[in-house]
């Protein structure tokens, strides 16, 4: 349907592939990249979990840099996009050459990207131990001072660059600004339809979660668990798993361990003093989790099963 003067208002419904990427999408890509690096590193360290502890500590920065270079080889070098950008349908373009046609990153830009990202992370992690062998020499002190000044200047520049990014929406990092690379969409982005069924489902689960968060502190879960346990305890007695006096006297009815400072509270079961006292303080109507009997006066007991256990 044509508008006034023969114009077609729907001719540009889809933005071009070189349309500007949202700020939140660019930041999400960095978060995804960081999560991937942590996942790769955790999987790599699990391969050495049965070796001597601290085996990888002396060369940990170098190993992380090597894994990051491996990721760079199959992401930025091959596709001009990081893993996070690929998941969000984004890739880098060469913004040094103006024009509407997409131009991928040049080879020098890719190598400098690896140097400024992987090399910067390696230097930041390794700088703490670079000068440990010569802590007293003047050259080492000067180098450490220069490194601190450069680190401070880099942080200030990063802050200024991020403020410019929030204002203009381009170049979230100094590396991208220095190299002249800018993220763009891989293909045309169509209109985003709102799925009201999805929104209703999310609102329903969100309200249900808030209801549970409000309700759970009001429910005495320990008493509910004790009631269920007492309900099925006769079945255990029939199988002979709970009927022996030895089990009653050598196992705390709460923590199911050897009772420490054994005490009783009106039934045949024995409790650790701290287990029983803490639960009675938390619940005035505390019942035995094994038999469901209302607890009464706390009394110390002596155990005579094989060896005699005296109260400390």
Kindly state whether residues 145 and 30 are assigned to the same domain.
yes
Judged by average pLDDT, the poorest of 72-76, 196-200, 240-244 is: 240-244
Kindly state whether residues 118 and 227 are assigned to the same domain.
no
Going across the sheet that includes 271-272, the strands are: 271-272, 262-264, 299-300
pLDDT tens figures, 241-291: 444 555 567 788 888 788 888 888 878 888 888 888 888 887 777 778 777
Judged by average pLDDT, the poorest of 85-89, 178-182, 185-189, 266-270 is: 185-189
In a domain, residue 260? The reply is: yes
In angstroms, how far is the first alpha carbon of the chain from the final one? 92
Higher pLDDT, 144 or 204: 204
Helix (H, G, I), strand (E, B) or coil at 125: helix
Of the residues 159, 185, 211, the one at which a domain ends: 185
Helix (H, G, I), strand (E, B) or coil at 90: strand
Helix (H, G, I), strand (E, B) or coil at 54: coil
Q: Confirm if 226 and 271 have CB atoms less than 8 A apart.
A: no
Considering its fold, how many domains does the chain have in total?
A: 2
- CATH number of 295's domain: 3.30.40.10
In a domain, residue 193? The reply is: no
Count CA atoms within 13 Å of residue 267 on its CB side.
Answer: 17
CB neighbours of 292 closer than 8 A, spacing ≥ 6? 226, 227, 229, 230, 233
Kindly state whether residues 240 and 156 are assigned to the same domain.
no
Winning range, highest mean pLDDT, from 143-147, 164-168, 258-262, 282-286: 164-168
The CA-atom distances, in angstroms, between 117 and each of 14, 79, 251, 286 are: 34, 17, 58, 59
Q: Confirm if 220 and 42 have CB atoms less than 8 A apart.
A: no
In a domain, residue 190? The reply is: no
Kindly state whether residues 76 and 163 are assigned to the same domain.
yes
In a domain, residue 245? The reply is: yes
Q: How many residues does the chain have?
A: 312
Q: Confirm if 76 and 91 have CB atoms less than 8 A apart.
A: no
Helix (H, G, I), strand (E, B) or coil at 184: strand
Output the pLDDT for position 14. Answer: 42
CB neighbours of 112 closer than 8 A, spacing ≥ 6? 178, 179
Kindly state whether residues 88 and 26 are assigned to the same domain.
yes
Helix (H, G, I), strand (E, B) or coil at 276: helix
11 pLDDT tier (thresholds 50, 70, 90): very low
Output the pLDDT for position 212. Answer: 84
In a domain, residue 91? The reply is: yes
In a domain, residue 196? The reply is: no
Kindly state whether residues 41 and 122 are assigned to the same domain.
yes
Higher pLDDT, 230 or 296: 296
Output the pLDDT for position 264. Answer: 85
Give dist(CA 266, CA 298) in Å, integer. 8
Range of the domain at 168: 13-185
Kindly state whether residues 33 and 113 are assigned to the same domain.
yes
Kind and range of the H or E element at 45?
A: helix 23-46
Give dist(CA 34, CA 17) in Å, integer. 26
Helix (H, G, I), strand (E, B) or coil at 87: helix
In a domain, residue 111? The reply is: yes
Kindly state whether residues 168 and 262 are assigned to the same domain.
no
């Amino acid at each position: 349907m044509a508008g006034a003067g023969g114009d077609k208002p729907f001719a540009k419904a889809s933005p071009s592939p070189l349309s500007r990427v949202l700020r939140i999408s660019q930041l999400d890509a960095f978060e995804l990249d960081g999560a991937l690096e942590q996942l790769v590193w955790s999987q790599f360290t699990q391969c050495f979990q049965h070796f001597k502890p601290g085996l990888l500590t002396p060369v940990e920065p170098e190993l992380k840099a090597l894994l990051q270079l491996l990721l760079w080889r199959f992401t930025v070098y091959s596709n001009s996009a990081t893993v996070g950008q690929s998941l969000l349908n984004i890739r880098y373009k060469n913004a040094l050459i103006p024009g509407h046609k997409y131009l991928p990153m040049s080879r020098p830009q890719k190598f400098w990207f690896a140097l400024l990202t992987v090399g910067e992370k390696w230097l930041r992690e390794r700088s703490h131990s670079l000068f440990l062998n010569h802590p007293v020499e003047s050259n080492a002190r000067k180098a450490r001072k220069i490194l601190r000044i450069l680190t401070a200047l880099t942080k200030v520049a990063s802050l200024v660059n991020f403020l410019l990014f929030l204002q203009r929406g381009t170049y979230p990092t100094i590396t991208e600004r220095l190299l002249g690379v800018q993220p763009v969409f891989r293909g045309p982005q169509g209109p985003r339809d709102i799925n009201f069924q999805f929104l209703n489902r999310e609102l329903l689960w969100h309200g249900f979660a808030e209801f549970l968060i409000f309700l759970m502190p009001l429910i005495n879960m320990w008493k509910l668990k004790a009631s269920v346990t007492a309900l099925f305890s006769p079945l255990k007695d029939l199988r002979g798993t709970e009927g022996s006096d030895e089990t009653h006297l050598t196992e705390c009815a709460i923590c199911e361990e050897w009772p420490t400072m054994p005490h009783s509270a009106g039934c045949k079961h024995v409790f650790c003093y701290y287990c029983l006292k803490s639960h009675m303080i938390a619940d005035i109507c505390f019942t035995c989790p094994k038999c469901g009997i209302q607890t009464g006066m706390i009394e110390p007991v002596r155990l005579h099963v094989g060896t005699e256990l005296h109260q400390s």
